[in-house]
Homo-oligomer: A and B are copies of this chain.
């Protein structure tokens, strides 16, 4: 299996796309900020053409906004959009989880256990860095992987990135974070016991708790 797994647009050449994507999701750029292309060029040590092509792809993906003759901008974060993303993620990821539980085979069970274990190992270090994020994304991806719909997986991944822009700016909230970590293992248990309804209900709650973390930032800054 690829170490990067198959990204929808990640089949492309230069790694600048993936790096920028990671930095955008990780909040390295301020929401609403206008990107200074020359500064990016220098900072990431890439040429103008590969950079612009990456920015164009990110705009089509929804992590940037392209404005007519005035470059690229980081999308603003709004309460309304967070609600939209969380609700749609609940619907799509729930749908995918049901299908995955129907179709997932023994290999999937093994990979799911492995992904959950790797994530738990990273949970213990209280400071959750890029590595934890990677494992977390990978866990959720594994969970729904055998749903049978390439397009559904694609949309879910896109929504995850969007959602994470909000979540990763949220406060620590150690109690809720602990519950979230625990839920990953409960999700595995329910998936392995093929209890689609309970799994879906738990996923709904999981997303809702994450939503509360993300939302806290708005209430603090409002």
Q: Which residues of A contact B (CB under 8 A)?
A: 8-9, 11-13, 49, 52-54, 56-62, 65-69, 81, 84-85, 87-88, 91, 95, 148-152, 154-155, 159, 162
> 12 interchain pairs (CB within 8 A)?
A12-B56, A49-B49, A49-B52, A53-B56, A54-B56, A57-B59, A60-B61, A81-B150, A84-B148, A84-B149, A84-B151, A88-B151
In the bound complex, what is the Cα–Cα distance between A109 and B84 (angstroms)? 24
B residues in contact with A54, CB < 8 Å: 56
Is B11's CB under 8 angstroms from A150's CB? no
Copies of this chain present in the complex amount to 2
Contacts known (A84-B149, A87-B149, A152-B88); A8 close to B60, Cβ less than 8 A:
yes
Shortest A209–chain B CB gap in Å is 21
Is B53's CB under 8 angstroms from A8's CB? no
Is B59's CB under 8 angstroms from A9's CB? yes
Q: A8-B62, A9-B59, A60-B61 are in contact. List 14 more A-B contacts (CB 8 A).
A: A8-B60, A11-B68, A12-B56, A12-B66, A49-B52, A52-B53, A57-B60, A58-B60, A62-B154, A84-B148, A84-B151, A84-B152, A88-B152, A151-B159
